[in-house]
A = this chain, B = another copy of it.
Amino acid sequence: MNCSVARTLEIVGEWWTMLIIREAFFGIRRFDDMQRRLGIARNVLAARLQMLVENGILERRLYQERPERYEYRLTEKGLDLYPALMSLMRWGDRWTAGEAGPPVVLNHTLCDHLTEPVLSCSHCGEPLRPREVRAEPGPGGAVVPPRSGAAAG
């Protein structure tokens, strides 16, 4: 499918996969720590980690020699999933957290304030709203529906 959403979901569009990536952003790097925190079956975790290494999202590094122990760190490609992960979290905070409120809040250390991620335009800096964005065929040549972008609602 000639679509960057579809291609992304082929790699990270599986429930456990995105939660493993969340753990990596939380600084959890070791198999046993991830396994315990996620309550995931060891064989499932091993398979997902291997897939993420093969896709260049995590890299596996030796941190102990006897016995050999490895940890998993986000690559540049993995770190670049941060906006997607934050956007999924923010939606969940707003629509699924209920009266208890968000399980986690975010402090932006650069300005030292609590922050909510906002998706902004790289040109003018204003928040991107679906009705103010028009999808157009790019160099990769997707077929775009005529009313795309202004469409929703």
Contacts and interface: CB of A to CB of B under 8 A. Distances in A.
A10 to B, nearest CB: 8
A108 B88 contact: no
Interface size class of A (residues with CB under 8 A): 35 or more
A125 interface: yes
Contacts of A139: 100-102, 105
Contacts of A11: 96
A138 interface: yes
Contact of A7 (B28, B92, B130): B92
Number of copies: 2
Contact of A144 (B12, B15, B26, B120): B26
A105 B138 contact: yes
Interface string A1-19: 1111111111111110011
A47 interface: no
A90 B96 contact: no
